[in-house]
Amino acid sequence: MNSFFSQEVPLVFYLLLSAVLFALGILGFLIKRNLITVFMSIELMLNAVNLSFVAFAHEWHQVRGQIFVFFVMMVAAAEAAVGLAIIIAVFRARATLAVDRIDLMKL
């Protein structure tokens, strides 16, 4: 038991988890139609990156990675605030959240 719990999780597992989460985020971003789901997928990608940052920081006993995670979280919070506001505005204007129908950037 001791040997099982005292053993640390190897770095590669963290990284695999991070990669899987990131790929899920990309997938969700690409295939989901609901704007809120797309938004959540972005958050998922950010947190996948955060996970790898923390894992590396722990592995190499360096604090930089963890500091970086704070920054990313902060940006993510700001992004969430702005993004949700935009989503609400879009919904009010168009009464839909389907990404395909929000194509104002088209020429």
Partner 1 sequence: MSGYLHLWLIPLLPLAGFLINGLLGRRLPKALVTTVALLAPLAAFGVVVTACLSLNPLVPPACVSIPCGPPGWVYNSLPHVQTLGTWINVGTLRIDFSFVLDQLSLVMLLVITGVGFLIHIYSVGYMAHDEGYARYFSYLNLFLFFMTTLVLAGNALVMFVGWEGVGLASYLLIGFWFNKTSAAEAGKKAFIVNRIGDVGFLIGMFLLLANFGTLTFSEIATKLDANPAWMGGVLTATALCLLLGATGKSAQLPLYIWLPDAMEGPTPVSALIHAATMVTAGVYMIARTHVLFDHSPFALGTVAVIGAATALFAATIGLVQNDIKRVLAYSTISQLGYMFLGCGVAAYSAAIFHLMTHAFFKALLFLAAGSVIHGLGGEQDLRKMGGLRKKLPVTFATMTMGVIAIAGIPPFAGFFSKDAILFAAFTHGTLGKALWFVGLVTAALTAFYMFRLWYLTFMGESRNPDAHPHESPWSMLAPLVILAVLSLCGGWVAQGGRIYAFLAPATGAHPEAASGDRLEGILSILAVAVAALGWYIARMFYKEKTERPAQLAAAMPASYKLLANKYYVDEFYGATVVKPLMVTSTYFLGWVVDKAILGGAAWLLGGIATFCGALLARWQSGNIRSYAAWLAAGAAVLLLFIVVPWASVLATLGIHLNMAGR
Q: Where does this chain bind partner 1 (CB under 8 A)?
A: 26, 29-31, 38, 99-100, 102-107
CB atoms within 10 A of CB 69: 19
Residue 94 Cβ vs partner 1, minimum distance, rounded to whole Å: 14
CA distance 94 to 91: 5
Q: Which is nearer to partner 1, 14 or 29 (CB)?
A: 29
The 8-class DSSP code of residue 98 comes to B
Instruction: Return the SS3 of 47.
Output: helix
* Residue 30 tokens, joined: 């690409």
Closer residue to partner 1 in complex, CB, 8/100: 100
Nearer to partner 1, 9 or 93 (CB): 93
Nearer to partner 1, 92 or 106 (CB): 106
| Run of H or E including 69 | helix 64-94
**Cβ 1 to partner 1 shortest distance, Å:** 39
Q: Smallest distance, Å, CB 26 to partner 1?
A: 6
CA distance 45 to 22: 5
Q: How far is the CB of 106 from partner 1 (least distance, A)?
A: 3
